[in-house]
Each structure stands twice: as structure tokens, then as C-alpha cells.
């Protein structure tokens, strides 16, 4: 906290004092209250106050951005002071360079991550916050090369940052009911979970994109770490009686390579979108008793097909998402084919000051869902009131495990 506060103060001093021949600093941000009440208990699920600032400064040859924020959670009485992004830009005729803590956003998907894997996710509140808050800033060097309508983007990430999981006492801590049952009373060994901060443990990503009159196409690849640790299960068995003596679970991150791409094209009245990524070297949990650590290494494909169009002034977007595990066997806990669908409906009223939105996920395999209706009203310039609900349906799976967390919420936000 002290280190973060010192960094925050230093940034403010830099922007306040400026430097010789500098352009003016643009300051914007928002203040927001976010409160939610759980359906099943009528207790508060969240009471949160956020103050978010963005400082930007830009000249013809350079730029600077910093996005510090303060967040107070009243339920667990914790406060967070952090910097989402702070980076420097350098602009050239054919190239841009960005260095520092930044969010890197790739892909065409709404509400899911397929090729959008450079910035890890903050899942401390599941996937409910805005995606600008779910994506974590990472320290990276990003270079964009421009060749006509083509762009080559390379991002080097020197230090691996994993997904941020909820605290164990949080209502969003996953129940892991999609993993195999671990016998006995397992103990956990976290000694191998952290990836050492060494140059050889960095990540590298590259993307080629072209924007033409026909389609917007991206091709990408990466050499990265799996953001989510694999759970190695070690069983200590008596060699004589063959009785299970103890079980140790050891979370570990492993290397992944991936290649993929995305596209979007307009075929009036539709906008067609697609995205896919092929992952090599993913560890899956298995019930095969012959495996020493309960894991098997396989490759898998994650893809999406979607379409957007407008009907009766309603903006409609639908997506089908599927994962396919190659070289599958019946011992693997995850299904060979797992499918999900999303639907988004949006319409504006009263001179675009009243906004209605309906977004839903449905998981075909676990027959569970997350339904998110919202209504927002722009009361005055910069002042917005939002009412919504997060409704979890089912009793298992990624959404059903949170069936007790269904809530109605309100957000009062002032942007400046």
C-alpha cells in the first residue's frame, strides 16, 4: 500500500508540475457508487465506492497516460489504491511504441476471451464488472508497425501476471464443482505456483491485422503462460496395504503456445464476426488412476461465430462459442465438446438518454446461465443512474455455482 501510494503521489506531482514545452494535461474520470442486494437473503452482496482518474498528455511525437483509482468495499471493509495503466507513447511516421503498464485488447468477441489473452483478468467479482475493469494492466513493450492498411503489432511482456482470483472468503470464490472429487482431506502446496520473475519467463505476442473494404482481419500468435494454474494431485499410497495415506494438491502454471485470429465483415444488414484460437500444451484434470499427478496434456480449439444486426431500432448480437479438446479420452474431466451462447439486445429511448439492455450467457453442457438486464438513464451531462440484475440460473457449472449470488443492483455514476 505504501509503495502504491508513493507511486500515485509521484504521478500527480509529474502531471502537476509538467515539463518544458509540454502540452496541457487532460484530466477526466468518474465517481461511482455500486450497491447490490442478494435475492435469497436480502443482504448486501456489494457496496462499493470508486473514484477513477485518467491523466493524458499528447504531442505530435510523444504521449503519456496514467489511470489511478481508489476503490472502497464496504462489505469486507477493504480499500484498494492502484494504477490500472501508466505508460509512455512515442509516435513515428510508420511506427508507434508504447512502454509501461497497459491494457492490450485483441479480438472481436463480446463477453468472452478467445484471442484476447494478453492482459490477464481480474475475477475477484467474477465477470460482472465492466471489461475495462476486468482486464488488468500489465507491464509491456508494444510496437505497432504500419504498412498502408496493414498493421503488425508485437507485445513483449517481461513479467508474467496470472488471473486474479477472489479471496477464499468472497462470495465469488469458485466452488470448483467442475473438477474431479479429490479423495480424503487434501492439503495444498503453493510453493510452485509463482512463476519466477526472470527474462526467460517472459511472454511474447504478435498480431497482423488488415482493414479493407471487405473485412477486418487479424492473425495472432503467442508464447505465454496459462493464466489459470493446473492442479497437480499427488497421492501418497502405502506400498503394502495400498491404502491412501494423504493427498497433496499443487497449483502450477505451465507454458502454452497459441495461434489464432479473428475477422468481421459487413453483409448488409448483418455484421458477421468470427474468432478462433488453437492452444497447444494445456493440462486438463483426469480421473485416470495411472497418472502420477492427475493431469493430462492436450491441445484444444476455442472458437466463436457471431452476427450483429438492427431490427426495429433494437441492436441484436448473438454468439456461439465452443471448445474442442483433441486426442480426447473418457478420463478427462472436461467434456470433449463444450458449447456456450450469448445474446445481446439494446435499444435507446428519449433522445438516447434512456438505455435498455439485455445480455445473457447460456452453457449447453451444464444447463446453466447468467442473465443481465439493465436500464440506465442519463439524468444530466455526465450523471448516469443504472438499475440492473445479475441472475444466475442452475445448480452447477461456471454460472450455476453462483446461484445464491443472484442480485439486483444500482449504480450512480458521475463522469467528468
Other beta carbons within 10 Å of 348: 16
DSSP letter, residue 404? G
pLDDT at 244: 62
Q: Is 66 exposed, middle or buried (0-12, 13-18, 19+ CB in 10 A)?
A: buried
Other beta carbons within 10 Å of 226: 19
Are 50 and 70 in contact by the 8 Å Cβ rule? The answer is yes
381 contact partners, CB below 8 Å, separation of at least 6 = none
- Give residue 16's pLDDT band: very low, low, confident or very high (50, 70, 90): very low
DSSP SS3 for 16: helix
Are 157 and 139 in contact by the 8 Å Cβ rule? The answer is yes
- Strand 187-188 relative to strand 26-38: parallel, antiparallel, unpaired? unpaired
- Give residue 20's pLDDT band: very low, low, confident or very high (50, 70, 90): very low
- Give residue 304's pLDDT band: very low, low, confident or very high (50, 70, 90): very high
Of the ranges 29-33, 122-126, 178-182, 294-298, which one carries the lowest mean pLDDT score? Answer: 178-182
Q: Is residue 44 pLDDT above 70, yes or no?
A: yes
More confident residue, 26 or 181: 26
Average pLDDT over residues 325-347: 95
Q: Is residue 227 pLDDT above 80, yes or no?
A: yes
pLDDT at 394: 94
Q: What is the arrangement of strands in the sheet containing 230-237, beginning at the earlier edge strand?
A: 187-188, 244-252, 230-237
Other beta carbons within 10 Å of 52: 19
pLDDT at 403: 94
Average pLDDT over residues 210-239: 88
Are 402 and 126 in contact by the 8 Å Cβ rule? The answer is yes
Q: Is residue 138 pLDDT above 90, yes or no?
A: yes
- Give residue 240's pLDDT band: very low, low, confident or very high (50, 70, 90): confident
What is the rounded distance in angstroms from the CA atom of residue 46 to the CA atom of residue 38? 9
Model pLDDT for residues 247-292, shown as the tens digit of each residue: 788 899 999 999 999 999 999 999 999 999 999 999 998 888 788 8
Are 366 and 396 in contact by the 8 Å Cβ rule? The answer is yes
pLDDT at 9: 47
The domain locations on the chain are 1-55+67-78
pLDDT at 186: 76
pLDDT at 11: 53
Q: Is the pTM of this model over 0.85?
A: yes
Query: In Å, how far are 30, 129, 414 from 133, measured between CA atoms?
Result: 13, 6, 17
What is the rounded distance in angstroms from the CA atom of residue 102 to the CA atom of residue 174? 28
What is the rounded distance in angstroms from the CA atom of residue 113 to the CA atom of residue 303? 10
Mean pLDDT of the chain: 90
What is the rounded distance in angstroms from the CA atom of residue 158 to the CA atom of residue 98? 14
pLDDT at 238: 60
DSSP SS3 for 11: helix
> Among candidates 98, 101, 86, 204, which has minimal Cα distance to 145?
98
DSSP letter, residue 135? B
Give buried/exposed letters for 142-157 (b at 16+ CB in 10 A, else e): bbbeeeeeebebebeb
Are 385 and 374 in contact by the 8 Å Cβ rule? The answer is no
Average pLDDT over residues 387-397: 95
pLDDT at 228: 86
Model pLDDT for residues 140-154, shown as the tens digit of each residue: 999 999 999 999 999
DSSP SS3 for 21: coil
- Strand 407-415 relative to strand 383-393: parallel, antiparallel, unpaired? antiparallel
Model pLDDT for residues 358-389, shown as the tens digit of each residue: 999 999 999 999 999 999 999 999 999 999 99
Top-confidence range, 6-10, 113-117, 164-168: 113-117
Instruction: Determine the distance from the C-alpha atom of residue 42 to the mean position of all C-alpha atoms in its chain, rounded to a whole number.
Output: 29
Task: Provide the percentage of residues in the chain whose pLDDT is more than 90.
Answer: 73
Please name the residue ranges forming H helices in 251-303: none
- Cell numbers 512515442 correspond to what residue? 90
Four-residue CA torsion sign, 69, 70, 73, 79? positive
Amino acid at each position: 500500500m505504501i509503495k502504491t501510494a508513493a507511486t500515485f503521489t509521484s504521478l500527480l506531482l509529474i502531471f502537476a508540475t509538467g515539463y518544458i514545452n509540454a502540452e496541457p494535461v487532460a484530466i477526466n474520470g468518474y465517481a461511482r457508487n455500486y450497491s447490490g442486494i442478494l435475492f435469497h437473503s436480502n443482504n448486501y452482496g456489494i457496496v462499493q465506492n470508486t473514484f477513477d482518474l485518467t491523466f493524458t498528455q499528447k504531442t505530435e511525437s510523444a504521449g503519456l497516460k496514467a489511470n489511478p483509482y481508489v476503490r472502497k468495499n464496504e462489505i469486507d471493509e477493504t480499500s484498494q489504491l492502484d494504477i490500472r495503466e501508466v505508460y509512455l507513447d512515442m509516435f513515428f511516421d510508420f511506427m508507434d511504441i508504447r512502454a509501461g503498464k497497459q491494457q492490450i485488447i485483441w479480438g472481436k468477441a463480446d463477453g468472452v476471451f478467445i484471442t484476447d489473452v494478453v492482459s490477464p483478468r481480474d475475477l475477484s467479482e467474477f465477470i460482472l464488472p465492466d471489461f475495462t475493469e476486468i482486464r488488468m494492466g500489465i507491464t509491456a513493450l508494444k510496437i505497432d508497425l504500419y504498412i498502408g492498411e496493414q498493421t503488425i503489432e508485437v507485445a513483449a511482456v517481461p513479467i508474467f501476471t496470472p488471473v486474479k482470483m477472489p479471496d477464499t472468503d468472497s462470495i465469488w470464490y469458485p466452488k470448483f464443482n467442475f473438477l474431479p472429487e479429490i479423495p480424503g482431506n487434501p492439503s495444498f502446496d503453493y510453493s510452485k505456483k509463482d512463476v519466477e520473475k526472470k527474462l526467460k519467463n517472459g511472454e511474447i505476442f504478435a498480431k497482423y491485422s488488415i482493414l479493407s473494404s471487405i473485412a477486418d482481419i487479424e492473425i495472432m500468435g503467442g508464447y505465454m503462460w496459462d493464466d489459470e494454474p493446473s492442479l497437480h494431485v499427488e497421492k501418497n499410497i502405502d506400498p503394502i496395504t495400498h491404502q491412501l495415506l494423504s493427498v497433496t494438491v499443487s497449483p502450477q502454471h505451465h507454458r502454452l503456445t497459441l495461434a489464432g485470429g479473428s475477422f468481421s465483415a459487413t453483409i448488409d444488414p448483418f455484421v458477421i464476426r468470427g474468432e478462433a484460437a488453437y492452444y497447444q500444451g494445456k493440462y486438463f484434470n483426469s480421473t485416470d488412476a495411472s497418472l502420477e499427478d492427475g493431469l493430462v496434456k492436450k491441445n484444444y480449439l476455442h472458437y466463436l461465430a457471431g452476427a450483429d444486426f438492427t431490427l426495429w431500432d433494437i441492436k441484436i448480437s448473438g454468439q456461439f462459442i465452443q471448445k474442442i479438446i483433441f486426442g480426447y479420452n473418457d478420463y478427462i474431466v472436461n467434456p470433449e465438446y463444450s458449447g456456450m451462447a450469448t445474446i445481446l439486445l439494446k435499444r435507446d429511448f428519449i433522445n438516447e438518454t434512456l438505455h435498455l439492455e439485455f445480455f445473457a450467457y447460456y452453457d449447453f453442457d451444464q444447463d446453466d446461465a447468467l442473465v443481465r438486464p439493465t436500464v440506465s438513464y442519463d439524468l444530466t451531462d455526465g450523471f448516469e443512474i443504472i438499475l440492473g440484475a445479475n441472475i444466475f440460473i442452475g445448480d452447477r457449472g461456471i454460472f450455476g455455482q453462483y446461484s445464491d449470488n443472484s442480485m439486483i443492483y444500482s449504480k450512480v455514476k458521475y463522469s467528468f
